[in-house]
Amino acid sequence: MARILVTGAAGFLGSHLVDRLLGLGHEVLGLDNLYTGSRDNLREALTHPRFHFQLGDVRHAIPASVDAVFNLACPASPVHYQADPHLTLTTSALGALRLAELVETRPTVRIVHASTSEVYGDPEVHPQPESYWGKVNPIGPRACYDEGKRVAETILVDAHRRRPFPLQILRLFNTYGPRMALEDGRVVSNFLVSALRGEPLTVYGAGEQTRSFCYVDDTVGAFVATLGLPPGPAHFDGPINVGNPEEIPVRNLVDVIAKELGTPLEVTHRPLPVDDPRQRRPDITRARARLGFSPSISLAEGIRRTLSDFRRRVS
């Protein structure tokens, strides 16, 4: 059993990771400032004897007496992360600095950092391998998230170069599933809420832009797999893409949801947001080799599971 800190524990992804780690017998410390997370996501965990919740902010302090840190703290949906760009950028950057300080004195602590496909920006290489440096607009509305996540990678890899510690950087591609905030503005949550309310689904642009959606249980599996890697300040062998390579145009997501609901859905179009990436699909060769990662939940199955959660929450 390890003592593991999850930052962003009350968020969508963080809370699923907490539940999985508790199920595996670990002691889990959850840190969250509840900016986008909610205690409701931790409903079950909060009653668990091996779970401890701490209201706090990664920008200021990180509990140090742990064996591993899963760093998930940061607003992650475009609507949320653009609402307060300063908070978004500083959460990524200062959070990484706090982690770098922690491993300076405790180099045996494993750091598993949640990065993002957004480091590739609007990619010119498709699908995206980890070796691609990306095409990010540094002054656009998405920059607070993209550049924050990029600099967090820089800070952690520099710290590792200075003094090695066990480090994994996972670049996540569009995770979805139960517990996504209903109003977080992401395409899966927006579409499901609109469909269940009988309102038209809002497709931005023509909906030809593609995404590769990964069900949350698969993403969580990749995080957990890092605990099976050899301990010690091993050589850092680069970031790892984590996602499901099943790529679809956004407009086709409407059909997937319509099929699950067994009813045709009305669509309305809105302007494409600035700097919206036109295509995105992970090359997961490294994740397969390093983590034994193999996403197993199809988009249809994942949407079915997510729908049953949204049905309970959408009135």
Footprint of ligand UDP (CB under 6 A):
77-78, 174, 186-187, 190, 202-204, 207, 209, 211, 250, 273, 276
CB-neighbour burial class of residue 296 (10 A; exposed 0-12, middle 13-18, buried 19+): exposed
Residue closer to ligand UDP by CB (options 66, 299) is 299
For the CB of residue 186, give the shortest distance to ligand UDP in the complex, in Å.
3
Residue closer to ligand UDP by CB (options 64, 314) is 314
- Residue 266, SS3 per DSSP: coil
Q: Which residue has the tokens 């390890």?
A: 2
For the CB of residue 211, give the shortest distance to ligand UDP in the complex, in Å.
5
Answer yes or no: 204 catalytic.
Answer: no
For the CB of residue 176, give the shortest distance to ligand UDP in the complex, in Å.
8
CA–CA dist 194, 27 (Å, integer): 39
Give ∠ CA 5-90-52 in degrees, rounded to 5: 20
Out of 35, 81, 120, 145, pick the active-site residue.
145
CA–CA dist 111, 157 (Å, integer): 11
CA 161 to chain centre: 25
User: In this structure, what are the phi and psi dihedrals at residue 207, rounded to the nearest 5 degrees?
Assistant: 80, 15
Residue closer to ligand UDP by CB (options 160, 211) is 211
Q: Tokens in use for 60?
A: 């200021």
For the CB of residue 269, give the shortest distance to ligand UDP in the complex, in Å.
9
User: In this structure, what are the phi and psi dihedrals at residue 214, rounded to the nearest 5 degrees?
Assistant: -115, 125
Residue closer to ligand UDP by CB (options 78, 221) is 78
Active-site residue numbers? 145
